Structure formats: structure tokens, C-alpha cells
A and B are shown apart, each in its own frame.
Chain A
């Protein structure tokens, strides 16, 4: 059914002028969504305090990373456990360029995207030929292996202590008393909005459509003339660029890039919240990023109020990810967003109760 739904859209853009107008309209729509999201984000940061500003900043770069991941896993149907390592690539790129080469921040983050995209290209070239558990194992190995390079080349990459950058100062026109935390949040928010704009466009574009066609049925897609491996490699490349931006923003917020910031748990957590949030939808990435930021806070508070030990507080979020990941697979593969969507559709009487167990991860063909 999914392929049938997709086909009319493949043919839809008519020739010449109409097509250009449709493309421009789509571009405008993505831009509007990104700008409005950024506006809401900035308004939110004006309401909350300085401590919450840092959380907002965390949320913004996690959002960028999870969005990148959802590009590969949700739209592409390929698993990647290596996005924490791709974030590390972006983080180190920004740290090196800002600290050593004195690049401006925006240029450094753009460069981080390019460097990470290149790594993603190499990874994707291998990944497009691998399936299921093989790909999972290869990307898992990648996630463990890559951050170790920091320890191997301590002269350039700073070893265990990593690299530090000077805290980026808020520009003068914001006034002298402007809290730096809020500035970090704004920078991260701007970066995340750029990634959002990019992903929205990609999703709408013919490349996004091809990618989803490959996910739903590789054989049928290649019969339609889609070059499957090239499409999937492209998705890995772009997804890595998103992760690179996320890593670069992390360096801006923490002013630090070190191997310890990119353990295997980061890669696994990113993957977990992408699945739990709901693969293949922008909102799923929002829920995922919110979960990454808020869950550690809540468990910390709960552990404090129950006077549990620090071990429990520190490990509780991971434990919850683990439980939710298993539960989601057994009971609800489409995640939070899938649940909300069904609730919404059910409320409008468009859906009857239907068995959902053992279904694919994304609601296939629903041009979400």
C-alpha cells in the first residue's frame, strides 16, 4: 500500500514553471516552520531562567542530532548506532578551528558539518551495502572506535582532557548584562533551526521521496530506476552533517570537546530516544530531545528526594531508555509520536482499534 501512495507524488511536479513555483512554495513553507520554531525557542528562553537556558541549549543540539538520526533510521530504514561518534567529529572540528585557527563560530560550525558529512560519506558507502545486524554491529564498532582517536593523538586532540575553547561572548548590541548562557542557547537554537530547515526540505524533495521508497521496498525502488545504494549513502552523508552541527554546538555550549563526552552511551541514548520519540517524524525528534534533557533532571530530583545514591540517579535515565526501548518494540513500535498520531486520528474517528504488535518501526507510506 505504501508504494501505491508514493507513486502519484513522484509524478506530481509538472514541467517547467509550475514545478518551480511548487518548489519555491515548499521552500518557503520549510523556512517559515524553521523561523517560527526559532522564534518560539527564543521566546521560551526569555521566560525561563539562566539554568534552564543551558538545558534549552542542550535540547537544541540533541534535537539536531536526533533529527539527523531519524533521517537515516526513520526515512532510510537503516540502523545507525554511530551518531555519538559523528557528533564527536563535529565537536573536535569546531574546537580545533576556533581554538587554533581562530575561525568565527558560524564558519567553524559549517566546517564541522562538512567534515562530519565526509566521515558520514565513508560510513554510508559501507552502510549502504550492509543490512540489519551487520550494519548495527559495524556502526556500534564505529561508535566505540572513533572517540578513542582523541587518546591516540594527544598532541593535536588533547588526549583524555580534550580541547577547550574560549567561551563565545554575546555580541555587544544585546547589552552588557546579557547572560552568556542565553547566548549559547540562542546559538544552539539557530543551529538546530538551520538543521530543521534542511531536513524539512530534504524530506519534501525528490531525494527524500526516493529514500522512503528504498526503505519500503528496495527491489521495487530499484525497478523504478532509483539508485538504492547511492540514495542511502546520501542519507548517511546528510545525517552525519546534522550530527556534526550538533557536535559543534555541543562544543559551543560546553566550551569543551573530550573523548569522555562521547561514550557509547551517548550513541545508544540518541538511538533510543529517536525510537522512543517516534522514528520518521520531526515531532518524534522533538520528543526525543526533550526526553534526553528532561529525564536525567527528573530522575536526579526523584533520587534526591528519596535520598538514593548517586549511582542510582546517574544510571536511572539509561535504565528507563532500556526499558522503554524494549517496551516500545514489543508493544508500540511507532513511539510517542505514533501514539499521539493514533490518538489524534482516533479522536476524529478515522481509525479503529487495530493490532499494532510486530509492525515496522515507521508508519510506512504515511507521508509524515
Chain B
């Protein structure tokens, strides 16, 4: 029973991370109808940059803000320089561009920081809380992770539904032609969408790095778990991304707890295939019908 509780708590804290990265994927999908396979690599890069800031003597919080700032810049740059050129091309071309970016960024990080993973500090204690005499697998840092993801998700929801910018972002995503006629600068909205997504991703990176360590390839699994979460949530729905992230986090936590960690990616594949076969539009998608 204790193990089940621990696995559940662990699943929630991991799931929050997957949800955040899935949110980044969803933001980009909504803006440009592209799945950004370089998302994992981009958040790896920003986490390395913030790690370098910490080694350079800057305080933790400054490094976190630095990571998010770098994420915003990198996201906008990638959209401006690369993605804009393949927006009208067949969808496979855009997928391949993001894959090329993934390979490139991982190689770049391997060159600069070597492939040996390094540690990354946590914001708060990673010692679990004590309930009675047993220590549970949920630490103040996990509380911070879950809270942080909730705050970001809420802030984005407010941005999209309550502000002028959010309205323009949605208009550009759903009806680019009409939005352009009404004076929305669609290209700029796409850049902002990518920047926001990369910023959210960067935050997820610094949140998860203390537990996974930081190496060029340590975020590959996070990307595929987040992809499974995003598809489960419908790829179109930010709320779905968060809920999908939590569900995937729980499933993976139970599978790795009871059956061994090596099976976690296979479980993610299972979730992905079952979702796509049974309900391709995901749990929360508004779309009635879509080819997957």
C-alpha cells in the first residue's frame, strides 16, 4: 500500500513535468500545425545554459529566469529562421526540419558539455515529507514542481482567454487568412506561439533536471512521454495536455515501479497506440474528425 501511494505521488510529480512539456508541444501544434520534435533538445539546451550560469556564480532563481528567457529567444528564432520556410511545404518536411534540429542541438551540447550527465540543483529539499514514522516519496521540491506547472498552465489559460494578445494568437492559429485580413500580424503571432512554448519547455527542463540529471540525451524519454501525453489529451487542447501528462505520469510510474524502469518507454508506446486507435482526437479535443 505504501508503495502504491509512493508510486502515485511520484507519478503526479513526473506527470506535471510531462504535462508542461506536452503543453509546449500543444502550443506549437496550435500555432503552426507542427509537432516540434526538437522540444526535448531545446529544453536540454536552455537547462545547460542555466547550469552554466549557476557554475558562473549566479543564484538559482536568476538561472531559472535565464533559462526561460533563453527559451523564449530560441523558440522565436527557430520559428523565424527555420519553420517559416517550411510552413507551406508538405507536413513531412516540417517534421524532418525539427528532427534535424533535434540531432543538431544534441550534437552541439555533446561537443560543448560532453556526453557525461551532470547534476543540477533543486530549488527545495528533495527529502520526502514525513507522515507518521514513514517518509513518503513526495518532497517539498515536488510540491514546488506541481505548483509551478499549475501556475504556468493557469497563466497561459488567462493569456489565451482574457487578453487581446491571446485573442490574436487564437485567431492566427484557427483562421490565419481571416485573421490576416482583420489586421492580425499572423507571422508574428506564430513566432510568439513558438517563443511561449519554448519558454514553458525551458521551465520544465530546470524543474525536471534535478531528478534526471543533465546530459545531451537525458530528455529524449521526456519528449516521447510528453508526446504521448499531448496525443492523449488531443494535441489541440492545453487542458488535455496537462491531464494527459498526469495520466501518462501515473501509468509510467506504476509500470516502472512494478515491472521495471526499462518498460516505461514501451508503456508510453502502448498509451500512444491505444489512444490513436481508440480515440484519435484525444480525450479533450474539440475537433470532430481528424486524420492521424
Contact A126 B276 (CB under 8 A): yes
Does the CB pair B227–A358 fall under 8 Å? no
Cα distance, A269 to B107, chains bound together (Å): 12
Among A148, A265, A315, A358, point to the contact of B93 (Cβ < 8 A): A358
Q: Does any Cβ of A come within 8 Å of B242's Cβ? A: no
In order of increasing CB-CB distance, the 8 nearest A-B pairs are A322-B104, A325-B100, A145-B265, A133-B35, A319-B107, A322-B103, A318-B107, A326-B100
CB B256 to nearest CB in A, in angstroms, measures 11
Q: Tell me the smallest distance from the CB of A360 to a CB of chain B, in Å.
A: 5
Q: CA–CA, A131 to B95, complex, Å?
A: 11
Known A129-B276, A141-B272; 18 more pairs at CB < 8 Å: A130-B276, A132-B95, A138-B273, A145-B224, A148-B262, A148-B264, A149-B262, A152-B262, A263-B217, A264-B220, A268-B102, A318-B106, A322-B102, A322-B107, A328-B96, A329-B86, A330-B85, A330-B86
Flag whether A221 is at the interface (Cβ < 8 A): no
User: For chains A and B in complex, what number of residue pairs have CB atoms within 8 angstroms?
Assistant: 169
A126 to B111, CA, bound (A): 37
* Residue ID in chain A nearest B220 by CB atoms: A264
> What are 18 sample pairs from A and B whose C-beta atoms fall under 8 A apart?
A131-B292, A137-B228, A138-B276, A141-B272, A144-B265, A145-B224, A152-B259, A272-B100, A312-B111, A315-B108, A318-B106, A318-B110, A322-B102, A322-B107, A323-B104, A325-B96, A329-B89, A358-B88
Q: Mark A329-361, 1 if CB is under 8 A from B, else 0.
A: 110010000000000000000000000011111
Q: How far is the CB of B11 from chain A (nearest CB, A)?
A: 18
Could you tell me if A325 and B97 are in contact, using CB atoms closer than 8 angstroms? yes
Interface residues on B, range: 35 or more
Q: In this assembly, does A314 line the interface, its C-beta being within 8 Å of a C-beta of chain B?
A: yes
Q: Mark B23-67, 1 if CB is under 8 A from A, else 0.
A: 000000000001101000000000000000000000000000000
A307 close to B (CB within 8 Å): no
B86 lies within 8 A of A358 (CB): yes
> Is residue A311 within 8 Å, beta carbon to beta carbon, of the partner chain?
yes
How many angstroms from the CA of A312 to the CA of B106 in the assembled complex?
A: 12
B263: A residues at CB distance < 8 A: 148, 152
Whether A316 contacts B107 by the Cβ 8 Å rule is yes
B40: shortest Cβ distance to chain A, in Å?
10
CB neighbours (8 Å) of A328 from chain B are 96
Q: State the B residues within 8 Å of A (CB).
A: 34-35, 37, 82, 85-86, 88-97, 99-108, 110-112, 114-115, 217, 220-221, 223-224, 227-228, 231, 259-260, 262-266, 268-269, 272-273, 276-277, 291-292
Contacting B at CB under 8 A, from A101-147, are: 126, 129-134, 136-138, 140-142, 144-146
Checking B101, B105, B262, B272 against A151 with a beta-carbon cut-off of 8 angstroms, the contacting residue is: B262
